Amino acid sequence: MSGRSAARVLVVGVGGLGCPAALALARGGVGTLVLCDDDVVDGSNLHRQILFDESAIGKPKLELAAAALRARVPAVRIEPVATRFLPENALALLREIDVVVEGSDNFPTKFLVADACALAGVPVVHGAAVRWHGTALAVGAAGGPCYRCLFEDIPHEHVANCAEAGVLGPVVGVVGALQADLALRVHDGGEPIGTLETYDGRADRLRTHRVPARSTCELCGTRELRVIERSRYVAEGPCAP
């Protein structure tokens, strides 16, 4: 595997998770960050989106995030892509990508990223945070265990996201840093595949679990993949929390 300076990491969502993850990746020596988002900065999110300040409210996240990252890590190359991660562009976004860091705030995007990465053979680190709790999961290029081993499909019942339930800014920062760490370890040839990091901000407790692969998983199990065909849903709302 090539060195970090030659690495290309796709960050899906430049929000509460994507901002700290992108900064940690840049400072960790990643050569190119491809940022995927089409949203603008919202004042209610500034407590967790560390690349922005009050002057950024209402402006496109991509331009400001790219400028902030270049200012702090001049060596990093930023490729902004002003779009959501969608079924029609998923595989194109994954071309020549070494690792994906997924920081979306909705289940359709999370499952689409999981499915598309499995089809393209690209490792991905998923992240999520709400209230006091956050998780980061590393999935290898060969699949299993994968995101669908934990969550079989999009929940039918309503699940409150961070916009509805709230989230502590430091918790999101910790999870973004965990995602960056897992992504760097995956790229460097480490063995974090199937590692699930869970962080409890109230108790200040970090735990590491190994996720078992499910033989009946529709994505990485023994069944035939029908990834993009099964993922013909479009994410509701922006990519980034």
What span, in angstroms and rounded, lies between the C-alpha atoms of 221 and 171? 32
The active-site residue, picked from 162, 217, 220, 239, is 162
Q: Which residues pair with 40 in a beta bridge?
A: 60
Catalytic residue status for 162: yes
The answer to whether 86 touches 234, Cβ cutoff 8 Å, is yes
187-194 mean pLDDT? 90
Evaluate if residue 95 carries a pLDDT over 60: yes
Query: Which of 31-66 are b and which e, b meaning 16 or more Cβ less than 10 Å from the residue's Cβ?
Result: bbbbbbbbbebbeebeebbbbbeeebeeebbbebbb
Q: How confident is the model at residue 163 (pLDDT cuts 50, 70, 90)?
A: low
Q: How confident is the model at residue 234 (pLDDT cuts 50, 70, 90)?
A: very low
pLDDT of residue 132: 92
Q: How confident is the model at residue 238 (pLDDT cuts 50, 70, 90)?
A: very low
CA angle 162, 206, 133 (to 5 degrees): 15
Q: Residue 25: CB partners within 8 Å, gap ≥ 6?
A: 9, 11, 33, 101, 180, 183, 184
Query: Which of 121-150 are b and which e, b meaning 16 or more Cβ less than 10 Å from the residue's Cβ?
Result: ebbbbbbbbbebbbbbbbbbeebbbbbbbb
What's the CATH architecture for 4-230? 3-Layer(aba) Sandwich (3.40)
